[in-house]
Amino acid sequence: MGNSGMDVLSSISCPSIEVLQAIILSKDCSTLQSNLQTFSNLKDLELTIIGSYPGSRIPDTPTVSKISRITLSRLVVTFKAASGPNLTTLSLLTLFCSTRNVKLSHEQENFDWPSAISIFAETVEELALEQQILATKSHVRVKSELSHSRLSYPRLKSLKIDRLACSPILSSIVAPALRKLSLTAINGFTPSAFLAFIQGSPDIRILRLTGIYMAITPPFSTTFPPLPTAIEEIDTTHHGLPILNFLTLKSLHTLRLLGVFQSKSGKQVHAYSEPSELHLSPICKLDLTILRALTTLDLCVGNLVLQLVIGLAEALPLLIRLEVLSLPRTHHNTNILVDILVENMRQGGTWAGDKAVLPRLKRLHTKDYPEWESLLMLLAERNRTAHIKGEKKGNETVPLEELNLPGLPNSFILERVQLAMAGKFPSRNGPQITTTVGCDDCKLTRSVCEDPNVERTFEARSSCGRHTLGTVHITANSSGYISTSSHQTMSD
């Protein structure tokens, strides 16, 4: 419905309607409150409310009681060009206080979020809060952290806060049943408020901290001892890693590190057109108990190409129980992460007593193609050693069971990879296909390029469409049988 939708809504008499989407003017909120009484089976409501509020009125108790019997499963309310008293906003939201899944979006930086969400405290299970314009530090309402008493949200399982100051909200909530917490593009992040919230939510399993920056000073580090948690998965950037040292993460098995988008001034930004960087040196500063618990480290964000990745070689020796590693594509020819990984793993050795790098690694995902000969030697040495019968010790290496590539290599290369994964040293005798035209990825995979006229540069690697069709999963058994599954076919 458009801006005149209230006239249509008032003429509809259909109690069986379950899903309603409407765009209304703020002056029509009172009419909406009355008309919703006829939609007794309404389950899903999406409202966009435009304009300033002419006044404020909280519905009387009988009206609220009657309309609130419509228990929504999902409510989405977006306020556009809104200004004026927040009381009218709260008046409308009160009508839907029994909703289980709520998303609120507002433009105003001084919107009273704690009061708005408190309306749903008793029943809400999934809560998403979004500010349509990124909050600036100059408008963060730090004082409001202390202006609201902490209210219990006994059924809340998922909380997402996007592009607004999260500390006032976290300081107003106790969510003992929370399982997933997501804080994205946050300004004014206060570690003390975050940790106090975590302390009241001991059942969190998934934590996402992105777009935040924190400076942890020595007095703070001594004030807050590590808090016990049940967190299993964490998504964050290298800016968010320091806060992990204040959590006891015995259940953590998956860490996803996201690239940070930098402006030319070096400051963190949120525009995805900016070059991105990923610094792994903060991993080395994490408590060893965290690192030794990790079984999965994911450095990829879709097909995003990172401008720069720093510190991979320093972090690898600490990840002694890592089983799954995902490496992103990088922009420069001199910083291919899979080649850095292979070099360090070969230097570490594969025999008992050696200082093996990633001795428990079973699955490797890479968005870049490797230098084949070095990879083949690593696979053959590592997997042959792992297959030798005899007494196994905890520090010995396990076979690399699965290799995931961005595309299908030439059949001769593929066969050699399969043999190496079976612990055999593949022969170099065979057809050698080289090309001087087309993209760099086709040159690496010895394939005929779909775009032979693609521009090549010395610094950046080029790629054609054949390398974006889907991930190729390569495994091996003792006979070296080729079992490749992807969206691509086996033919070149």
Q: DSSP characters for 419-451?
A: HHHTT------S-----SSS-HHHHHHT---S-
- Cβ(322)–Cβ(353) below 8 Å: no
User: Is pLDDT of 426 > 50?
Assistant: yes
CA 437-438-440 angle, to 5 degrees, is 105
- Tokens matching residue 83: 């200004």
Q: Which residue has the higher pLDDT, 239 or 154?
A: 154
pLDDT of amino acid 489: 34
Rounded Cα–Cα distance for residues 114 and 380 (Å)? 59
Is the model's pLDDT at 205 over the cut of 70?
yes
- Beta bridge partners, 228, equal 248
pLDDT cut 90: percent of the chain above it:
33
H or E element: which one contains 102? Answer: strand 101-106
Most confident of 4-8, 141-145, 374-378, 450-454: 374-378
Which amino acid type is present at position 244?
Answer: L
Alpha carbon 39 to its chain's center: 38
Q: Flag the least confident range among 75-84, 324-333, 451-460.
A: 451-460
Q: What is the mean pLDDT of residues 47-64?
A: 62
Q: What is the pLDDT of residues 18-41, one digit of tens each?
A: 898 988 887 777 777 777 777 778
Q: Are 294 and 253 in contact (CB under 8 A)?
A: yes
332 DSSP 8-state letter: B
- pLDDT reading at 77 higher than 80: yes
Is residue 271 scored above 70 in pLDDT?
no
Q: How far apart are CA 446 and CA 146, in angstroms?
A: 63
The Cα 444–Cα 241 span in angstroms is 35
Which of 451, 437, 259 has the alpha carbon at shortest distance from 337?
259
The reported pLDDT for the residue numbered 434 is 64
Q: How far is CA 293 from CA 228, 315, 332, 352, 394, in A?
A: 15, 14, 32, 21, 15
Q: For residue range 152-170, list pLDDT tens digits in order.
A: 999 999 999 998 888 889 9
Please state, rounded to an integer, the average pLDDT across all residues of the chain: 79
CB 32 within 8 A of CB 8: no
> 76 pLDDT band (50/70/90 cuts)?
very high
Please tell me the predicted confidence (pLDDT) of residue 207. Answer: 97
Which residue reads 């969400």 in tokens?
117
Give the tens place of pLDDT for each residue, 359-388. Answer: 999 999 999 999 999 999 999 989 887 666
Query: Who's near 353: CB < 8 A, 6+ residues apart?
Result: none
Mean of pLDDT values over 47-66: 61
Q: How far is CA 378 from the centre of its chain?
A: 31
Arithmetic mean of pLDDT, 62-85: 70
The CA distance from 193 to 178, in Å, is: 16
- Cα 129 versus chain centre, distance: 17
DSSP assignment, residue 407? S
456 or 259: which leads in pLDDT: 259
Span 272-281, average pLDDT:
68
Please report the DSSP string for 8-29 in residue order: HHHH---TT--EEEEEEEGGGH
Number of H helices, E strands in the chain: 14, 26
Highest mean pLDDT range out of 83-92, 358-367, 471-480?
358-367
Task: Return d(Cα 442, Cα 458) in angstroms, integer.
Answer: 16
The residue extents of the domains of the chain are 205-322, 361-492
Look at residue 266 in the predicted model and tell me its pLDDT: 43
User: Can you read off the two tokens belonging to residue 349?
Assistant: 């050795």
Query: Which of 210, 187, 215, 209 lies closest to 197, judged by CA?
Result: 209
The residue ranking higher by pLDDT, 133 or 48, is 48
Q: What is the model's pLDDT at position 295?
A: 96
CA 54 to chain centre: 41
Residues 6 or more apart whose CB falls under 8 angstroms from that of 43 comprise 18, 19, 72, 73, 74
User: pLDDT confidence of 182, banded at 50, 70, 90?
Assistant: very high
Please give the residue that has the higher pLDDT: either 390 or 210: 210
Interatomic CA distance for residues 455 and 453, integer angstroms: 6
Q: What is the DSSP string of 25-86?
A: EGGGHHHHHHHGGG-TT--EEEEEEES--S---PPPHHHHHHHTTS--SEEEEEEES--S-H
> Which residue carries 């966009």 as its tokens?
48
Pick the residue with more confidence: 418 or 53?
418
- 273 pLDDT band, cuts 50/70/90, is very low
Alpha carbons 216 and 205: distance in angstroms, whole number:
24
Share of the chain above pLDDT 70, in %: 73
As a whole number, mean pLDDT of residues 82-108 equals: 78
Give the contacts of 262 (CB within 8 A, at least 6 positions apart). 268, 269, 274, 275, 276, 277
| Residues whose CB is less than 8 angstroms from the CB of residue 300 and which lie 6 or more positions away in sequence, other chains included | 326, 327, 328, 365, 367
> Whose CA is closest to 195, among 164, 154, 165, 229?
229
Grade residue 479 by pLDDT with cuts at 50, 70 and 90. very low
Mean pLDDT to the nearest integer, 302-324: 88
Beta bridge partners of 305: 329
